Amino acid sequence: MTDETMTPTESPASGTDPLHGQPHQIVERDGVRYTLLGTAHISQASIDAVCAAIDSGGYDAVAVELDPGRLHSLTDPDALARMDIVKVLRDGKTHLFAANLALAAYQRRLAEQLGVEPGAELKAAVHEARARDLPVHLIDREVGLTFRRAMQRLGWWGRAKTGAGILLAMVGDEEIGEDDIEKLKRGDVLESSFGEFAAHSPALYESVIAERDRYMAANLRDTGRGAREVLAVVGAGHLPGLARHLREDTAAPAAVRAELEAVEIRKSFPWFTLALTVFVIGGFVWGFWQGGLDVGSDLIVQWVLATGLLGALGCAIAGGHPLSIVAAFLASPLTPLHPALASGTISALVEATLRKPTYADFMALRDDVQTVKGWWRNGVARILLNFFLTSLGTAIGVWTGGLRMLGRLVG
């Protein structure tokens, strides 16, 4: 490893320093000089500094705090609108889809309030580098992985608060607070948006900021090979941690990435589902054994009606298609007994298949959810309502049916 330096003002370009007044650090490692330029994601000055640095001709590669998905979103804002929501539901990614919608809504609010598109300096870096035929390296971790790793660090209460925050971010129309704007000036749009979902959470900070510092440092070490001068454009909040990891980490970059991309698959035993299944099936068996056909059949009918009708009612309140309501009624008595199924997923999948949202639905989503009528008018919002209200109705039906069965068994 070569000697390493970090200075606040050096630049490889001669003449006027394009980084003058901008937060940056320089690290030399293994024959590569990395200039880490810290930006604010809502600053025109940062955009100008990025363009000036690349146009100086002093770098032979550019790295950017983006992953392919976020770059695609910046360069193609309508990409989310072309998402296949049926596939999202089938793959069980409804909550992740909602989080992406919330992030998009948050960024749109920022753009409207401040007049600068969040992440515009990152997009400018990619554009300027490609215009000069410079290699462009996307060094950030995929945002879906960051979200999943953040969620697995939270307890059920933390996940509930974050879920509520995601919903509020989707429907909220209030101005972004001064604290969040200051975070963006220090430079990390994910930190600011996640902070709106679940403030003051060390677990979220670890996944959203600290882990990404290590991840980006590993990618820089990998992508810097073969280059002499690399400009890395990152949020200013990442500068200290990124420089430290770039200077000190010794583990192989591939090993670091593998560690930070792993998502724990929790194999906790579904005790509640097992207990509920034993109770319900056992109740049916006891009814047939003690009371004969009449009692056993009556217990089954009560369970089906309590769960099925309330699940179907939730779907109907959400404005579901008649066949979606039927699907909710049929699924609700069965899905509580299976840990991997949800009645809301089934009814929403039927709804999305029968009434697939249009491009206009996606584009109008944020405006439509500002009104009560808009939730039922917009195809995307209606599917999300279907998922949540059907699941809620089924959950209420489980408790209602379970209590009635218990009363019948002990009566």
d(CA 119, CA 70): 9
pLDDT over 50 at 214, yes or no: yes
Name the pLDDT band for 229 (thresholds 50, 70, 90): very high
Pairing mode of beta strands 61-64, 136-138: parallel
What pLDDT score was predicted for residue 262?
A: 87
Please state the domain extents for the chain: 24-261, 271-410
More confident residue, 2 or 37: 37
pLDDT over 80 at 175, yes or no: no
What pLDDT score was predicted for residue 300?
A: 92
- Contact of 74 with 136, CB cutoff 8 Å: no
pLDDT over 70 at 197, yes or no: no
What pLDDT score was predicted for residue 7?
A: 40
Note the pLDDT tens digit of each residue in 319-360.
999 999 999 999 999 999 887 788 999 999 999 999 988 878
| pTM given for the model | 0.66
What pLDDT score was predicted for residue 259?
A: 92
Average pLDDT of span 224-245: 89
- Contact of 10 with 53, CB cutoff 8 Å: no
pLDDT over 80 at 4, yes or no: no
pLDDT over 60 at 185, yes or no: no
Beta partners for residue 232, in sequence order = 36, 63
What pLDDT score was predicted for residue 223?
A: 85
Question: Taking each helix axis from N to C terminus, what angle separates 379-410 and 343-354, rounded to the nearest 10 degrees?
Answer: 150
pLDDT over 80 at 156, yes or no: no
d(CA 161, CA 197): 7
What pLDDT score was predicted for residue 119?
A: 78
d(CA 147, CA 142): 9
* Lowest-confidence region among 13-27, 112-126, 209-223, 270-284: 13-27
CA angle in degrees (0–180, nearest 5) for 313-159-99: 75
Kindly write down the DSSP assignment for every residue of 9-39, as one continuous string: S--SSSSS-TTTTS-EEEEEETTEEEEEEEE
d(CA 26, CA 11): 9
pLDDT over 70 at 105, yes or no: no
d(CA 352, CA 343): 14
C-alpha distances in Å from residue 267, one per residue of 118, 156, 275, 339, 398? 38, 16, 17, 11, 24
CA angle in degrees (0–180, nearest 5) for 183-187-189: 75
- Token reading at 355: 């009434």
**Nearest residue to 60 (alpha-carbon basis) of 276, 243, 223, 290:** 223
Dihedrals φ, ψ of 339, to 5°? Answer: -70, -20
Beta partners for residue 37, in sequence order = 24, 233
C-alpha distances in Å from residue 29, one per residue of 228, 355, 403? 10, 56, 67
pLDDT over 50 at 3, yes or no: no
Count of Cβ atoms closer than 10 Å to residue 226 Cβ: 10
Coil/strand/helix, residue 62: strand
What is the chain's alpha carbon radius of gyration, rounded to the nearest angstrom?
26
What pLDDT score was predicted for residue 243?
A: 94
For tokens 């070569």, the residue is: 2
pLDDT over 60 at 8, yes or no: no
Strand locations in 120-244 (E): 136-138, 229-235
What pLDDT score was predicted for residue 129?
A: 94
Kindly write down the DSSP assignment for every residue of 290-323, as one continuous string: IIHHHHHHHHHHHHHHHHHHHHHHHHHHTT--HH
Question: Taking each helix axis from N to C terminus, what angle separates 322-331 and 292-317, rounded to the nearest 10 degrees?
Answer: 140
* Lowest-confidence region among 59-73, 214-228, 269-283, 389-403: 269-283
Chain-centroid distance of CA 262 in Å reads 16
Note the pLDDT tens digit of each residue in 239-297.
889 999 999 999 999 999 999 998 776 656 677 788 888 989 988 898 888 888 888 89
C-alpha distances in Å from residue 374, one per residue of 135, 199, 314, 318, 381? 45, 29, 18, 12, 8
Mean pLDDT score of the chain: 80
Determine what percent of the chain is predicted with pLDDT higher than 70: 73
Coil/strand/helix, residue 274: helix
d(CA 148, CA 183): 22
More confident residue, 41 or 189: 41
More confident residue, 30 or 362: 30
* Lowest-confidence region among 100-109, 133-142, 303-312, 368-377: 100-109
Average pLDDT of span 197-226: 77
What pLDDT score was predicted for residue 343?
A: 92
Where do the H-state alpha helices sit in 177-270? 178-186, 189-197, 202-205, 211-223, 239-248, 253-261
**Nearest residue to 104 (alpha-carbon basis) of 83, 128, 90:** 83
More confident residue, 255 or 195: 255
pLDDT over 70 at 305, yes or no: yes
* Lowest-confidence region among 86-95, 139-148, 273-282, 387-396: 86-95
Count of Cβ atoms closer than 10 Å to residue 275 Cβ: 10
- Contact of 110 with 176, CB cutoff 8 Å: yes
